[in-house]
Amino acid sequence: MSDDSYIDHYPPFHGVDRYGQVRSVEEERAHRRQVVARGYQIFAAMRWGQLGDGHVTARDPELLDHFWVLDYGVTFADATPDKLVLVGPDGRVTDEHGNETGGVNTAGYNIHAPLYAARSDVVGAAHTHTQFGTPWSANVEPFRALSQESCAFVFDQAMFDDEEVEVLSYDGGQRIAAALGGNKLIILRNHGLLTVGRSVEAAISWFVTAERVAEVHVKAPNGKAISDEAAKVAASTLQPDHVAWRTYHWLDRSIR
């Protein structure tokens, strides 16, 4: 097996590495932190988050009501695992041993904490303001099947039609979580895109793919949509978790 061929072999469940070996809690925590940091770097390479807007997070594998996020004020390009902080359900920022450390963006806590509380299946989440996702969100319209990639979302998306764009309250995040429901993508009115995944890798790659879909919608808003029947066929091959996991590894290898 070549060094890169593992991208075609999706781990059968979380906590298992690409060779089928079960990770310890410590190993899984390290893995999630590494992927979160890499997600920020991928976003930076795409020139996203230059104003400090957005977050990539991962649920801690042991402290299930805590999540990891980049320390407040660190640029996306400079993200590393040791620059992440652990955020508890009360918004307190610590390391895994409970020591006070770092800071967290208020909106980051208000958006992500309620998501993890509402969705026990979610391991990672991603959101930032982008060139096409944000302007498309102002239309308050869901994605249509205007492209191949669109089919990954047309049957798995939600809309948050709300004016709390700053998300200054925990209640605002709860409303986002409620609107998201069991979907993997939510379009936040006048704000942008937010994706979740059953792995951190999936959340990151879903977001990148959704931004590509938003670009098609902005550039061809009146384009002829794929039929529901054809879109469902495409969705069956594009929307599974293992597809997003594999796409993440393409991103990881392509953006240096």
Q: Please, what are the domains in the chain? A: 13-254 (3.40.225.10)
pLDDT value at 13 more than 90: no
> What's the rounded mean pLDDT across residues 217-233?
96
Phi, psi at 59, each rounded to 5°: -65, 140
Work out the pLDDT band at 97, boundaries 50, 70, 90: low
Number of H helices, E strands in the chain: 7, 8
- Nearest CA to 204 out of 245, 173, 254 is that of 245
Give me the mean pLDDT over the 8-22 stretch. 55
What pLDDT does 26 receive? 92
pLDDT at 109 over 70: yes
Residue 186, token pair as written in the block? 């939510």
Average pLDDT over residues 40-54: 93
Give the tens place of pLDDT for each residue, 130-176. Answer: 999 999 999 999 999 999 999 999 999 999 999 888 898 999 999 99
- Residues 6 or more apart in contact with residue 190 via CB below 8 angstroms: 134, 137, 138, 163, 165
Chain-centroid distance of CA 159 in Å reads: 16
Alpha carbon distance 226, 40 (integer Å): 33
For residues 67 and 18, the model is more confident at 67
Phi, psi for residue 175 in degrees, rounded to 5: -70, -35
pTM equals 0.90
Residue type, 76: F
pLDDT value at residue 7: 46
- Average pLDDT over the chain, rounded to an integer: 90
Do residues 92 and 104 make contact, with C-beta atoms less than 8 angstroms apart?
A: no
Higher-pLDDT residue of 171, 3: 171
Least reliable range by pLDDT among 94-103, 134-143, 156-165, 181-190: 94-103
Q: If you average pLDDT over residues 86-104, what whole number do you get?
A: 80
pLDDT, position 255: 81
